[in-house]
Structure 1
């Protein structure tokens, strides 16, 4: 739930934005600004749920802001905060859809209570608008499209094994634990001089083939999708106990019926490429590639045919497993720790360097690991030499590794070095950002309008992220940090003999009385009593 705070008195604005632990109430302070015009710009650009605004402000007051918000964003809840206890303000505010009317000085508890009331109302209205029944209906309507995207991405090898299981479960696709037989279907070239279709109508007849395939083939035992290039993919499924011969017989009968339907309805021909049976979900992309390869054989064998794939050089399923492990290793290098990387290295060694593996396969897997590590580094725009530092020579000397234990130690060492470098640079980037904020504060300590929102805006950084990061690094909220610097600077200036009102102005206080109260509260003594002031 996003809250926008609009208050022209910066100390009040900072007190509300920084002095209340909003995240504990499920509230994110999207922005804290000093004018209604600035707030209106933000509401138009970002999703805001609640606006807490003062009434009297320069350029655009709170009531005018409420009028605009009510007109264009009626779901936004508005709370007015003002020092004028006037019935007319309240009445006009109600006309503009204002939820609450708080009279200054409203304490933090009052403000929190009002915002939470607005949050509850906003959530209740959203729930009513998006009721469970409506969501279920929309989900059912959208489910066929989502299933199609799932099958297409699966066939193209875009998912790791765990992703296939999770998405299949979420989309209620009964494909896990079943045999899978992919078939690629394509329209044969449209002959020149055809009376019904031109050569340029290829996209149209491809879509016609897809719709007919859905009518003839699609069922609980067969999924049909259209690939990115227009080829129709059909995945026949069978229980583990069903024999491959029975599955092929069922598939052949269905494909024959489809090709006959195409000839009868379109008076054109289509061909099919039949892949091998995939024993599990992770082997399906490979089997589908083979069905596409079989389809290409029509150049030699002719059109209007169902062509099975002839496997003359079978690919081992172990490489499919290693592809998944590589993805997990990359994730562990990017975000994990040494323990997670060690466990993955062990799994890679067990899968790829087993004692029964040929020497040529072991060498190829080592090259594959070298390429993957280099790709992770180069994708960030870094060089291997600057990333690996003292380990670069060991990386480049991978060809001298002879034993399985050496390879495992080498892979662990390189993964840890790259992972540590990523973590170090991510941390230094955070420190650099906080350093920029500290310079921003020092340069503008004399300005009254000094806020974390302005700092975030000038640095093109998210306000909530910067607020959280600043507190984690410095141990103080932005407003407490600024207050400390201002009080220390004021103490220093007064010690040099500067007049109170000049010192107040130098540290960003427009009103001397407010400065004196803040100084006394911070140091326990009035500024005029801490140091002897020079005679006027």
Structure 2
């Protein structure tokens, strides 16, 4: 720290400067002055941390100088060194805020101790001030996060009345100034299939953009905007002191529409808002949030780019739900069981056409979605398949049907499900038939010396011969009989080339009648068997 010594007696000043080991204790003598006026001008330039000051000085006395310096530098520590023990001097020193008052002739150790004590005080004060600054800075930095946690906890019903009052006061939130409150939920609408700038992987980024636009658009509108734990953008509105309920509702609606308009202008995409109920009792915040989210779900009925009100929701109590036509459901089930792709797709299109046509709320459409997904899940399970294996990445959507917000999303999803069920069935059929065909080919080679008819092969595998014939031709691109003849003729040709007699070659490929064998051989190779004997292969 920098020390400035102001003493008009030269010998005392030199002793103080030269004989006390200041540097060993981290004290640097920045200046030494013998005149009060010179000292005042020097203080402005040197900016010392510590001042060792005599009272009687030429130009201006030490107490007046100390008072003048104290007006411009509140932190400076002043040690008075005086040859007068008059109480008035001591009292004046205390009033000025002098740290220590020493009487001459004070020894070097006493002076050093007083200066170091003052330096320690200054260091503690600076440290405390720095910590207080950091605390205030951190508080300001984390205050928005703390407020967001407070509002989210409040809207989720996690506070009792006294906890709400206590927490709001801690955060400087004056809830008592507002009489009405309401929750609004903002979400980006699903991307259109034709959208090429963004994909589903960008929805997190788009929601953050929505948060930024909402926060900026509603700044100064008596509301707090937060990004909740589920990724939605929530805005809790407070009424103004002079607003009645109707005016408050109108202002919320106007501001919600404004946000949606700005989103469309900035992102060239649409968002929607769900507006919850107005409440006065702090415990009703959770109910307002729930209604806002329900209102947002009604996008599936009314479409996109809308500010949807909770009172637009129709509660279906005694009215029967609108289901699908039973014939349409049966057609889909039968087509999938028969693995009839054409009729399965046709039946699904009929069901999609019936989806939500007469629904008056999102809940009815959700029930229809649940019914249809249950039917398709049952179709998968009756074959001992797993939903995850058949649907792959779409399995997650099957487990979270509430994530659908438009009829288009629902229709696209169920079309994919039907395609995947049919494709999985074909894959399993081909995999199974491939193994069966391989087993058949192996048996044909193993029993080439017998009459391996199609019926005998069907009996061996307990399969209908007509179905086996079609499956074989589908996989091998030739009929079963043609393939067997081909294998027998190739094997017979090799036997003859190796030197076997005609009747032996016929027997080894399962022909009892040598004449019939010869005709078959000539028809296949264009020469009689005897002409093939001994010919190099």
TM-score (normalised: structure 2): 0.37
Pair member with larger Rg? 2
Task: Compare relative contact order (CA 8 Å, sep 6+) and give the higher one, 1 or 2.
Answer: 1
